[in-house]
């Protein structure tokens, strides 16, 4: 990526093992994530491009001498950040709170949207997948990298469980994954506030009990949002009180204010992202006993927890991919996702 | 109270029953609360005074025809706000989220710092106390009105329990009550960041394992606070990671920033108050997986839960009162609390 709207497919040198803790992975599938779109929209033009992509799975081609638990030929998925994953902090589920982590495409590490990746701390970073390279489950397994694990974490932090009523704000891939994880955790009601009528069917397939289309909520920059009829409908569907938990997957001031408008007093707003530097509300949180939570997901640990449900078909998160392309079409894949034409793009290098 | 620093003791007409849901209470003990101090410091001079006080207990003198469960002569304590306490929302522990509540001293309701109070919705508002009017437990029972229940709620929302390490920010009465409630809930470590060296002994008595005096943290308006050595000491005492929960009882930007500096990644900041309109941090909460919670306590419900521990002497929250005065000395009581000369003042009308 050389700037806003400027994605190029280029030949680069093959990665090699640099550290004894590295592994090399040949990429079988990679995703374009909503998280890739902010630089695609805003990055200043640069002479030097950045390598993109933080969702990938593939086959181990080579391993360093200090890597155990992995063998050449293993199928593996990588979380959205590499981590040592040996310390107490990582084991506590806080991969980005230990010093040993980094993002793909930064600091001499490859991006995931390519043919091969050098993986730092491969033993802690990579999760083995007990399927064949031609498995039909690869799209679902790829969601373990980020969207599924991030949505799962959002629901975990919100303490979604049986008897919980949930509102999901956003119908991008992360919002649809939030619906799926809320359903998986037994939520009683799952109400989606979205902006794309054509995604309502998939939202319902994943478990939404009601979908409210309110595109204005997602306008940016947002004025004070009252959420319009969407707020009324969500509150009406929850006995007038609002849902116990709001999974706020969009990250704008407008969607945060919508979350505040719909959530039940005493409830939880769980966020996956924040495009704003300050939370523009404080005392109403206290008066209404609302908890604000969410955060960076321990995707590596969740991969092991969520894997069985993918393997046995309990969940099919891979249905979130509605377009599959080769490497040559990655620039068009970005365009399609940024325009909303594609929900989520799968790259098969 | 007629303005900043201007508290007067005046004769007013005796209260009478106005609604069939009212009761009249003769006040035996009332408190001056940190919450009374902001108007004492900042209220513009007014020709018409406001009635003050939201912590009181006393004897039922008369009851309306629609009040059941109370008898004349009962000893009762009032929570910091009156509430109907019959609806689902109140029963969910959200007394200030139902429409039927109000503050003492407002809307024709008496303040608690006086000889007698007309109590709206007396059946839902008042908690009976099974002690005599001359019981030595009255100071402790009076803390059920606000400081104890608010601190308890802060610890409940922070999920403080056994094996939890806790930092309490503030050593005013509410901070000391937070220490007591953290101890009562079995916290393993309780570290206090305070500003009054002379309160360290009482903090330790209530259960603090370490007291760090850092007055600069409490300066207002606060610049960016790094918390000085206090943060280092708290983090060092918790294995370098910080405590699982921070009970933030002071409510300034500086103390919130201190809370953020000390809390363990993945931990909880639970607040009792907020003098700021916006939370000046957002993305670090996500990156570090920190939960922000707290809120208005269901003091009426907690009165029943906490009462047994006061009656059997398990907790002695009344030790927080270090001065007892009559009604005539209330103006001096305010002065003494505002200056820090008194920790908490008990009024015996």
For residue A236, what are the contacts with CB-CB under 8 A and spacing of at least 6?
none
Question: Which CATH number characterizes residue B163's domain?
Answer: 3.40.50.720
Q: Is residue B12 part of a domain?
A: no
Residue A94's pLDDT is what?
A: 87
Cα dihedral B120/B123/B125/B129 (nearest 10): 130
DSSP E strands in A23-141: the ranges are 23-32, 56-63, 75-78, 81-83, 101-103, 116-119, 127-128
Q: pLDDT at position A64, please?
A: 97
Report pLDDT for A97.
84
For CA atoms A72, A76, A79, A83, give the dihedral sign.
Answer: negative
* Residue B135 and residue B67 share a domain: yes
Same domain, A85 and A190: no
pLDDT score recorded for residue B96: 82
Instruction: Return the pLDDT at B85.
Output: 82
B220 with B248, same domain: the answer is yes
Instruction: State yes or no: pLDDT of B112 exceeds 80.
Output: yes
Q: Does residue A3 fall inside a structural domain? A: no
Under DSSP, the state recorded for A45 is P
Classify strands A345-347 and A323-325 as parallel, antiparallel or unpaired.
parallel
DSSP label of B181: H
pLDDT at A89: 82
User: What band does B84 get if pLDDT is binned at 50, 70 and 90?
Assistant: confident
A244 touches chain B (CB under 8 A): no
- B 85-104 residues inside an 8 A Cβ radius of A: 89, 92-94, 96-97
Q: Is residue A12 part of a domain?
A: no
Three-state SS sequence of A203-269: HHHHCCCEEEECHHHHCCCCCCCCCHHHHHHHHHHCCCCCCCEEEECCCCHHHHHHHHHHCCCCCEE
Least confident range from B46-50, B210-214, B335-339: namely B46-50
Taking an 8 Å cut-off on Cβ atoms, the answer to whether B241 and A89 are in contact is: yes
Nearest-CA distance from B284 to chain A in Å? 9
Is A266 within 8 Å of chain B by CB? Answer: yes
Tokens for A221? 């920059």
Cβ–Cβ under 8 Å, residues A140 and A184: no
Q: Mark the ranges of chain A whose per-residue pLDDT is less than 50.
A: 224
The answer to whether the CB of B282 falls within 8 A of the CB of B306 is no
User: Is residue B3 situated within a structural domain?
Assistant: no
Q: Among B276, B294, B312, which residue terminates a domain? A: B294
Residues 270-329 of A with CB under 8 A from B: 271-274, 276-283, 285-296
Strand B245-248 and strand B127-128: the pairing is: unpaired
Higher pLDDT: A171 or B88? It is: A171
Rounded Cα distance, A277 and A260, in Å: 17
Rounded Cα gap, residues B194 and B191, in angstroms: 10
Residues A84 and A208 in one domain: no
pLDDT band at B190 (very low <50, low <70, confident <90, very high): very high
Residue A6 in any domain: the answer is no
Judged against a pLDDT cut of 60, whether residue B234 lies above it is answered with yes
Alpha carbons B194 and B249: distance in angstroms, whole number: 10
Distance from CA of A293 to the nearest CA of B (A): 4
CB contact under 8 A, B296 and A289: yes
Determine, yes or no, domain membership for A5: no
Nearest CA in chain A to B88: A241
Q: How far apart are CA B288 and CA B263, in angstroms?
A: 10
B86, B124 Cβ separation under 8 angstroms = yes
pLDDT band, residue B226 (cuts 50/70/90): low
pLDDT of B247 strictly over 80:
yes
Q: Are residues A289 and A175 in the same domain?
A: yes
Task: Inspect the interface and report whether the beta carbons of A282 and B279 lie closer than 8 Å.
Answer: yes
* Same-domain pairing of B139 and B34: yes
- B289–A89: do the CB atoms touch at under 8 Å? no
Longest dimension (CA), chain B: 61
pLDDT band (50, 70, 90) for residue B227: low
Q: Are A66 and A155 in contact (CB under 8 A)?
A: no
Shortest Cα distance, chain A CAs vs residue B94, angstroms: 7
Residues A167 and A193 in one domain: yes
The number of helix segments (H) and strand segments (E) in chain A equals 12, 15
Question: Looking at the domain assignment, is residue A18 inside a domain?
Answer: no
**pLDDT cut 90: percent of chain B above it:** 88
pLDDT at B228 over 80: no
C-alpha pair distances (Å), B57 with each of B27, B105, B124, B174, B181: 6, 15, 15, 18, 21
pLDDT per position as a tens digit, A147-192: 999 999 999 999 999 999 999 999 999 999 999 999 999 999 999 9
Q: Do A281 and B285 touch (CB under 8 A)?
A: no
Which residue's structure tokens are 């449900």? A309
In a shared domain, residues A131 and A265: no
A271 with B292: Cβ contact below 8 A:
no
Q: How far is B10 from chain A, CA to nearest CA, in Å?
A: 32
Distance from CA of A301 to the nearest CA of B (A): 15
Q: What is the mean pLDDT of chain B?
A: 94
Q: Does B282 sit within 8 Å of A295, measured CB to CB?
A: no
| Chain B residues close to A279, C-beta within 8 Å | 278-279, 281-282, 285, 292
- Determine which helix (DSSP H) or strand (DSSP E) holds B253, and give its type and residue range: helix B253-262
DSSP A142: H
Taking contacts as CB-CB distances below 8 angstroms, the residues of chain A near B277 are 282-283
Q: How far apart are CA B243 and CA B268, in angstroms?
A: 9
Together in a domain, A232 and A283:
yes
CA atoms within 13 A on the CB side of A149: 28
**Which secondary structure element, helix H or strand E, spans residue A306, and what is its range?**
helix A299-311
Across the A:B interface, residue pairs with CB atoms under 8 Å apart total 109
The answer, for A81 touching chain B at a CB cutoff of 8 Å, is no
Range of the domain at B327: 23-146+298-347
Which residue in the block uniquely carries the two structure tokens 């001065």?
A: B323
Confidence band, pLDDT 50/70/90 cuts, at residue B178: very high
| A140 and A49 share one domain | yes
CATH number at residue B324: 3.90.180.10
Q: Where do the DSSP E strands lie in chain A?
A: 23-32, 56-63, 75-78, 81-83, 101-103, 116-119, 127-128, 165-169, 189-194, 210-213, 245-248, 268-271, 291-294, 323-325, 345-347
Pair (A330, A240) in one structural domain: no
CB-nearest to A282 from B89, B92, B274 is B274
Q: Is residue B302 part of a domain?
A: yes
Tell me, yes or no, if A35 comes closer than 8 A to chain B by beta carbon.
Answer: no
Per residue in B265-316, pLDDT (tens digit) is 999 999 999 999 999 999 999 999 999 999 999 999 999 999 999 999 999 9
Residues 109-138 of A with CB under 8 A from B: none
If one counts the domains in chain B, the total is: 2
Judge whether residue B225 has pLDDT over 80. no
Task: Give the distance from residue A116's alpha carbon to the nearest chain B alpha carbon, in angstroms.
Answer: 28
pLDDT tens sequence across A52-98: 999 999 999 999 999 999 999 999 999 999 998 888 888 778 888 87
The pLDDT assigned to B219 comes to 85
Do both A267 and A154 map to the same domain? Answer: yes
ipTM above threshold 0.90: yes
Q: Mutation test of the interface with chain B: which of A150, A238, A286, choosing the one with the most B Cβ atoms within 10 A?
A: A286
């Amino acid at each position: 990526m050389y700037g806003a709207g400027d994605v190029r497919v280029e030949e680069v040198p093959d990665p090699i093992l640099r550290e004894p803790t590295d592994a090399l992975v040949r990429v079988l599938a990679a995703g374009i994530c909503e998280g890739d779109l902010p630089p695609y929209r805003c990055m200043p033009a640069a002479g030097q491009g950045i390598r993109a992509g933080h969702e990938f799975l593939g086959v181990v081609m080579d391993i360093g001498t200090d890597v155990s638990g992995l063998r050449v030929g293993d199928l593996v998925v990588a979380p959205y950040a590499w981590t040592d994953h040996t310390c107490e902090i990582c084991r506590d589920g806080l991969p980005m709170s230990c010093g040993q982590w980094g993002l793909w495409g930064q600091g001499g590490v490859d991006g995931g949207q390519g043919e091969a990746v050098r993986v730092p701390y491969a033993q802690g970073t990579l999760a083995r997948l007990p399927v064949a390279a031609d498995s039909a489950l690869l799209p679902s397994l790829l969601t373990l990298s980020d969207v599924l694990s991030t949505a799962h974490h959002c629901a975990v932090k919100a303490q979604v469980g049986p008897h919980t009523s949930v509102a999901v704000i956003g119908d991008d891939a992360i919002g649809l994954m939030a619906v799926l994880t809320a359903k998986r955790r037994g939520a009683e009601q799952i109400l989606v506030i979205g902006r794309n009528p054509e995604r309502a069917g998939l939202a319902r397939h994943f478990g939404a009990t009601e979908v409210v289309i309110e595109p204005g909520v997602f306008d940016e920059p947002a004025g004070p949002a009252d959420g319009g009829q969407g707020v009324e409908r969500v509150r009406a569907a929850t006995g007038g009180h609002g849902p116990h938990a709001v999974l706020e997957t969009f990250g704008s001031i407008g969607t945060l204010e919508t979350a505040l408008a719909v959530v039940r007093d005493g409830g939880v707003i769980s966020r996956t992202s924040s495009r704003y530097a300050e939370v523009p509300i404080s005392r109403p949180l206290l008066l209404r006993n609302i908890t604000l939570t969410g955060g960076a997901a321990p995707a590596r640990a969740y991969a092991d927890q969520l894997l069985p449900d993918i393997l046995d078909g309990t969940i099919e998160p891979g249905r979130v991919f509605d377009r599959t392309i080769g490497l040559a079409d990655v620039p068009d894949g970005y365009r399609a996702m940024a325009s909303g034409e594609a929900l989520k793009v799968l790259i098969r290098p």
